[in-house]
C-alpha cells in the first residue's frame, strides 16, 4: 500500500466515522430522522480531505510517468524477501533509492499521524462532553488554517520529491563510456583463401 493511499483512507475513515457517531447521537433527539444528518463540516476539514485526495491522484500520475525508473516491490511470491512489507511505504520508489529511506514519506507520515490522532481526540471529547442544554451535535470540531497550510506544505514536498528523476549510481558513467550504435562501422567478413593458392 502506498503512503498517499493510506493517508486518504485514514482521513476518510475518521471523517465518516465522526459524521456517523454525531448522527447517531442526534437521532433520538430529532422529530425528523433526516435532521440528524444536519451536521456542519468545517471548511478546513474539507480542505484537508481535498489535499489528501489530490496527493493520492498526483502520486499516481507521477509514478505512471516514471514506470521505467520504478522498482517492482510486488515480487512473484516465491522469495520471502521479495514480498511487499509495511516498511516499503517509507522507501524510495525509484531503482536508485529503492533501498534507502525516503525522508519526504517519513515527514508526511508523521504529519498525517499527528493530525489524525489529535483530531480523533477532539472528536472523542466532543462526543463525551455534550452540552445538556444543546444535546444535539450541529458541527464537527473546527481546525485552524495553519494546520491546513502545514499539511499542504508537507504534501507539496512529498510530491515534488517524488517527481524528481533519479539515475542509479554509475548509470550515467556507463552510458557515457558506451559508444553510440550510430558510430559503429560494420566490418565485412574476409573470404577464406583457397588452399591451391597457398600450396603454389
Predicted confidence (pLDDT) per residue in 163-199, tens digit: 887 666 654 444 444 545 555 555 565 566 555 555 5
| Cβ contact 51:169 at 8 Å | no
194 in helix, strand or coil?
coil
- Position 149 scores a pLDDT of 92
Q: Cell numbers of 95, please?
A: 531503482
What's the per-residue H, E or C state across 78-118?
CCHHHCCCHHHHHECCECCCCCCECHHHHHHHHHHHHHHHH
Strand partners, 47: none
Ordered DSSP codes for 123-145: HHHHHHS--SSS-S--BPPP--H
Predicted confidence (pLDDT) per residue in 109-128, tens digit: 898 999 999 999 999 998 88
Ordered DSSP codes for 152-177: HHHHHHHHHHHHS----TTHHHHHHH
Predicted confidence (pLDDT) per residue in 74-113, tens digit: 555 555 555 666 677 777 777 766 677 888 888 888 989 9
- Position 102 scores a pLDDT of 81
Measure the CA–CA gap between 165 and 63, rounded to whole angstroms. 11
Does this model's pTM top 0.95? My answer is no
Predicted confidence (pLDDT) per residue in 26-69, tens digit: 888 777 777 888 888 999 999 999 999 998 898 888 888 876 66
Amino acid at each position: 500500500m502506498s503512503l498517499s493511499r493510506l493517508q486518504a483512507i485514514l482521513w476518510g475513515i475518521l471523517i465518516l466515522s465522526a459524521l456517523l457517531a454525531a448522527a447517531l447521537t442526534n437521532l433520538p433527539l430529532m422529530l425528523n430522522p433526516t435532521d440528524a444528518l444536519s451536521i456542519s463540516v468545517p471548511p478546513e476539514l474539507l480542505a484537508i480531505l481535498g489535499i489528501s485526495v489530490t496527493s493520492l491522484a498526483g502520486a499516481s500520475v507521477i509514478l505512471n510517468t516514471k514506470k521505467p525508473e520504478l522498482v517492482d516491490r510486488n515480487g512473484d511470491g516465491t522469495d520471502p524477501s521479495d514480498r511487499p512489507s509495511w516498511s516499503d511505504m517509507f522507501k524510495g520508489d525509484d531503482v536508485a533509492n529503492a533501498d534507502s529511506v525516503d525522508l519526504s514519506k517519513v515527514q508526511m507520515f508523521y504529519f498525517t499521524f499527528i493530525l489524525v490522532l489529535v483530531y480523533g481526540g477532539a472528536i472523542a471529547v466532543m462526543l463525551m462532553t455534550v452540552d445538556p442544554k444543546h444535546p444535539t451535535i450541529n458541527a464537527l470540531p473546527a481546525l485552524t488554517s495553519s494546520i491546513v497550510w502545514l499539511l499542504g506544505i508537507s504534501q507539496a514536498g512529498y510530491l515534488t520529491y517524488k517527481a524528481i528523476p533519479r539515475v542509479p549510481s554509475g548509470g550515467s558513467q556507463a552510458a557515457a563510456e558506451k559508444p553510440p550504435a550510430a558510430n559503429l562501422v560494420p566490418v565485412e567478413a574476409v573470404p577464406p583463401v583457397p588452399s591451391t593458392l597457398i600450396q603454389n
